[in-house]
Amino acid sequence: MIFNPQAECMDRAGLRRLQGERLSDAARRAYENVPFYRKKFDEHGVKPQDIRRIEDVGKLPFTTKEDFRDTYPFGLFAVPLRDIVRVQASSGTTGKPTVVGYTKEDIEIWSEAIARTLGCGGGAAEDVLQVAYGYGLFTGGLGLHYGGEKLGATVIPMSGGNTKKQIMLMQDFGTTLLACTPSYSLQIAEEAAADGVDLRKLKTGYFGAEPWSETMRGQIEHRLPLKAIDIYGLSEVIGPGVSSECLEQDGLHVFEDHFFPEIIDPNTGEPVGPGQKGELVFTCLTKRSTPLIRYRTRDVSSLNEAPCPCRRTSRRMARITGRTDDMLIIRGVNVFPSQIEHVLMDIEHVEPHYVIVVDKTGALDELEIKVEVSEHLFSDEVRKLEALRQRIAGEMRSVLGVSTRITLVEPKTIERGLGKAKRVIDRRELK
Amino acid sequence: MLVKQLSIFMENRAGRLAEIARLLGDAGVNIRALSLADTSDFGILRLIVNDVKRAMRILRDSGRTVSLTDVVAVEVPDHPGGLAGVLERLRDANVNVEYMYAFVEKATDNAVVIFRFEDIENALKVLQRAGISVLSAETVSSL
């Protein structure tokens, strides 16, 4: 179902004109109302009048995560606090959280974006949406909640955790749409299977807030009777609802009449060619609280301009394949945790539960990957388990270009993520 | 003629074996024989128990990775050269042993050797032809 056909199926030329008008307005609002941006524009030698068309976006300076920290808590707001009706925040791993604000109009934009997201996955007013993202400062829970109401669906505000109750309500209320992290959906699947619960009313799962892979999608769709849809967003931009896969499951439609995407080379800041991989950058064209200008997400993706069979005309971003900042440097070689995940997922029957441990012995970096042994994988002969271990190590070596140590661990020893699964433990800094 | 052996994946960590033994003990499962194959990181615990189904359920419920393996229990005369005699027959018939472990029967003068063969059917034929006594699952669990 296309929630807003007029916006989502707009012809490309019309869309670019609209984006140009909105960008020009956003640049003006940023310059006039946010001292931080006025200073930044001035230093960069750009004036709001220079921004007339969407092509002018490259003239603007970037905004980074550090800028949020430096202006904490409300320094990026372009409106007085009396117009802000909500704040949300993302947990900073160190120090202060990243704070974002919403005006009434922003909440409306956000709800609309999530309603479109739900529509992308086939959701409609008849559906029952169970929101198992955390409620609170995290944007996941409340974002999906308001979007679900905007769509007209029946919303169950379960929040995260309490898996037994989640499963009970899914059964009793006939949940058709499930929104949670992909790793949590596997936990629900595990417990439902263990209790012999039938969840066949499920139709679509809206999964995001942590990196996952195509193979993990296969696992989820194998264990739960639903289509697993990748959704994307970040609180700095709006929260979830920035982009979503449609039922084609081939790239995420960016709701680019509100959130303008670019792909740049993370080292030079220059745009890359069409279809090429690089760092994803967003400009909030319509958000009133903060007209966020060219925000560097540090997520690695690419943009596909080809038309989609679903009729939506927006460009599609590729599933996030890594973070420019969680790149690990192991003995001088760049390693992305996503590569490790890919290798593991491609080996049949390996449960998608693993932890990466980076350590140092002497001067040398050591990369250890702990993999859970499922019953499919288990053999009661040592040499077969050793062979499995060597096979994983061999494939890691050929893909990553560095040798790794593979450790097989008992099932369920690796914590199941309720939020962003912590898959990398870097012990090198502690020494 | 086949005996079901429980195989359990274990990380090489202090106290793992004790946990499993306690779990089975509290459930009233008696361990008849056991062997532990280990590497520096992990081990495989192999158990012959009096109640396979119950043991399997208890271990699975506690989140362990468990599998059932068909093994052969052979009665071997408990005197010098008793085992050698059996092994020579197997060798002469080119029967490959994946692994084996032994325990001594309380009631008789015999030892019991648990064999995991690559080709179980062939191994059983060879043992029968050689007149070597192969114990049934019932016999083993009641030992």
Domains of chain B: 3-68 (3.30.2130.10), 70-142 (3.30.70.260)
What is the nearest CA distance from A191 to chain B, expressed in angstroms? Answer: 12
Q: CB distance B41–A407 less than 8 Å?
A: yes
Instruction: DSSP letter for A415, please.
Output: P
Pick from B10, B46, B63: CB nearest A412: B63
Pick from A382, A408, A412: CB nearest B37: A382
Q: CB distance B67–A375 less than 8 Å?
A: yes
Q: Whole-angstrom Cα distance, residue A302 to residue A320? A: 8
Q: CB distance B67–A378 less than 8 Å?
A: yes
- In CATH terms, A1-323 corresponds, of 3.30.450.20, 3.40.718.10, 3.40.50.12780, 3.30.300.340, to 3.40.50.12780
Q: CB distance A385–B10 less than 8 Å?
A: no
Q: CB distance A381–B99 less than 8 Å?
A: yes
Structure tokens at A173: 């209320």
What is the nearest CA distance from B65 to chain A, expressed in angstroms? Answer: 5
Which residues of A fall within a CB distance of 8 Å from B65? 373-375, 378, 410-411
What is the nearest CA distance from B36 to chain A, expressed in angstroms? Answer: 10
In this complex, is the C-beta atom of A390 within 8 Å of any C-beta atom belonging to chain B? no
Which residues of A fall within a CB distance of 8 Å from B5? 380
The SS3 call for residue B14 is coil
Q: Where in chain A is the domain with CATH 3.30.300.30?
A: 328-430
pTM, 2 dp: 0.66
For tokens 């793992």, the residue is B16
Q: Whole-angstrom Cα distance, residue A9 to residue B130? A: 81
Structure tokens at A141: 């829970």
In this complex, is the C-beta atom of A376 within 8 Å of any C-beta atom belonging to chain B? no
Pick from B42, B65, B98: CB nearest A381: B98
In this complex, is the C-beta atom of B37 within 8 Å of any C-beta atom belonging to chain A? yes
| Strand B97-104 relative to strand B134-135, pairing | unpaired
Whether ipTM exceeds 0.90:
no
Helix or strand holding residue A261 (H, E)? strand A259-264
CATH superfamily of A328-430: ANL, C-terminal domain (3.30.300.30)
What's the pLDDT tens digit per position in A327-368? Answer: 777 887 778 777 788 788 877 666 567 888 998 887 788 899
Q: Where in chain A is the domain with CATH 3.40.50.12780?
A: 1-323
The SS3 call for residue A326 is coil
Q: Whole-angstrom Cα distance, residue A299 to residue A117? A: 20
What is the nearest CA distance from B53 to chain A, expressed in angstroms? Answer: 16
Q: What is the pLDDT along chain A (431 residues), one digit of tens a residue?
A: 999 999 999 999 999 999 999 999 999 999 999 999 999 999 999 999 999 999 999 999 999 988 998 999 999 999 999 999 999 998 654 567 899 999 999 999 999 999 999 999 999 999 999 999 999 999 999 999 999 999 999 999 999 999 999 999 999 999 999 999 998 999 999 999 999 999 999 999 999 988 788 888 999 999 999 999 999 999 999 999 999 999 999 999 999 999 999 999 887 899 998 888 889 999 999 999 999 999 999 998 999 999 999 999 999 999 987 778 777 778 877 787 777 887 888 776 665 678 889 988 877 888 999 988 888 788 888 888 999 999 999 999 988 888 999 999 888 777 665 444 567 888 876 54
Interface test with B, best of A380, A388, A407 (most B CBs within 10 A): A380
Q: Whole-angstrom Cα distance, residue A72 to residue A85? A: 18
Structure tokens at B58: 């208890």
